[in-house]
Amino acid sequence: MIKYDSLWQTLKAKNISQYQFIKDYGIDKAQLQRLRQNMVVKTIILNRLCQILDCRIEDIMEYVLDDK
């Protein structure tokens, strides 16, 4: 499972709010909701997040082995 918990930590560390993502950077509310719920997100969105935050992909997402 891909988890986006690190995204919220990175946002906080860089003092960027979710509101700024929407208003200043044009990130869609629906995409933020998908990220909050650890749902599938297009790689173009992940690329844009890394550009905005000036970070590596590891700073916004991580792979966690599913419990089965």
Q: Confirm whether 36 is domain-assigned.
A: yes
Burial of residue 60 (number of CB atoms within 10 Å: 0-12, 13-18, 19+): buried
Asked if pLDDT for residue 68 goes beyond 70, the answer is no
Q: Confirm whether 68 is domain-assigned.
A: no
Q: Confirm whether 62 is domain-assigned.
A: no
Domain count, the chain: 1
Q: Confirm whether 65 is domain-assigned.
A: no
- pLDDT tens per residue across span 5-50: 999 999 999 999 999 989 999 999 999 999 999 999 999 999 999 9
Range of the domain at 31: 2-55
Asked if pLDDT for residue 67 goes beyond 80, the answer is no
Q: Confirm whether 63 is domain-assigned.
A: no
